[in-house]
Amino acid sequence: MSKLLEGKVGLILNIANDRSIAWHIADNCIKHGATCAFGYLPMGDPTKSERRVRRSIDEFGLGDYFLHACDVGSDESIDAFFKAVAEKFGKIDFLVHSLAFANRDYLAIGKFTETPRDVYKQACDISAYSLIALTRAAVPHFRDGGSVIAMTYLGSDKVVPGYNVMGVAKAALESTARYLAYELGEKKIRVNTISAGPVRTLSAMAVGGIDDMFTHVEKKSPLKRNIDGDEVGKTAVYLLSDLASGVTGENLFVDCGFNTVGL
């Protein structure tokens, strides 16, 4: 199989564990010849966060690899991350934004009207504004144009009970990606989003009614099943590679066709 990302260097934020979508994206990018550098959110105990991420990355068998903390809620932390990236790699070719955060106490059915202002702001800051901040910081380091992808979900466009404020944040993320795609197109930088169906990730397990979502998708989607994280990873390789050289500002669904069904 030809390696679609041979010789390319990319940044992947943020692997939480070996079930996360970011892990599957990294796995497929590495298989296609990319050199991947990793950022992680230093939440809670930063040492514990780093240890958990390292355990997951070690499964790739890379030997020496680049891993650096990046608190996407802090411009100073983002600047430090990209300074370290530049010192290590010089130039990069792609950026993967696979991160989001919302207070799980409000990701439950019947909780949306109770969302406090600070919870709303934090969800939009970490989950959506971070795409602007990271892309802005990445632009000077792209080799010759580049590709940026971010992860989203159907709850951005349709009401998914229990998804709540995260749905609002994902709607902002998708719109952000389109505006970035428009502005950065003249620099040969493409920006797209992938809307993945439900996957059993750490973040998904925080959503109220997630088991019902899996059952419903399996019953109603055209392919009569849920997706696997690896399928998202393969789609990411397409968008990050030259195969998608004419694709930007798009939201690509990987959900077994569930988004097309109206019942």
| Among 106, 163, 179, 182, the one annotated catalytic | 163
Phi, then psi, of 101 in degrees rounded to 5: -155, 135
E-state strands within 112-256: 142-152, 189-196, 251-254
Question: Positive or negative CA dihedral for 45, 70, 230, 202?
Answer: positive
CA–CA gap between residue 239 and residue 94 (Å, rounded): 10
Active-site entry in 120, 153, 182, 238: 153
Residues 6+ away with beta carbon under 8 Å from 105: 111
Residue 80, both tokens: 């430090």
Sheet holding 251-254, edge to edge: 67-69, 35-40, 9-13, 92-97, 142-152, 189-196, 251-254
Residue count (the chain): 263
- Render the burial of 76-98: b for 16+ CB within 10 Å, e for the rest: ebbeebbebbeeebeebbbbbbb
Residue 260: strand, helix, or coil: helix
Query: Is 238 a catalytic site residue?
Result: no
Residue 163 known to be catalytic: yes
Residues marked as catalytic: 153, 163
